[in-house]
Amino acid sequence: MDCIHVSNIRCYGYIGYLPEEKILGQWFTVDLSLWLDLSVSGQSDNIDDTFNYCEAIDRVKGIVSSNKFDLIEKLATAIADDLLNLENQSHQRPAIQKVGVRVIKSPPIPDFGGQVTIDITRENSKFA
C-alpha cells in the first residue's frame, strides 16, 4: 500500500483539559500519513487520480479551529474519522484505506517545557 505523508500542519485551537487552554488557546502541530493506492496517479500524472493533500490540510485546520475537545486523543480521532469518511466524489481518486494522525502540543504545565504527542492509526472499515 502507498502512503502520502503530510507533516507540520500548524493550527491554532482551543483544545485541552485545563481551563486556560480553552480560553487562551494554543498552537498544535498535526502530521498525517494517508495510505491509499497511488498506482493510477503514478502513471497518469493527473491530480484527479489521487487524493489532493490540500484538502486534508484544510480539513485538519477546520477541525482544530472549530472544536473544544478536552483531550488531544479526541482531536486525533476526529481528524482520522473525518478523513476516512470522505466520499470519493470523483469516483476516480482512490479512497483512503488507513490514516495515521500525530497531534503535538506544548501544554501549559508549570516547570514543563516539553511537548506531548499522540499517535493513532485507524483503518477504513471498507478495507479492514
Query: CB atoms < 10 A from the CB of 87, how many?
Result: 7
Spot the catalytic one: 61, 98, 105, 126.
98
C-alpha cell at 106: 506544548
CA 7 – CA 45 distance, rounded (Å): 23
What are φ and ψ of residue 64, in 5° steps? -65, -45
Separation between Cα atoms, residue 66 and residue 15, nearest integer Å: 10
Q: How long a stretch of residues is the chain? A: 128
Q: Rounded to whole angstroms, how far apart are CA atoms 111 and 125?
A: 42
- Active site annotation includes 68: no
* DSSP β-bridge partners for residue 31: 102
Which residues are catalytically annotated? Answer: 98
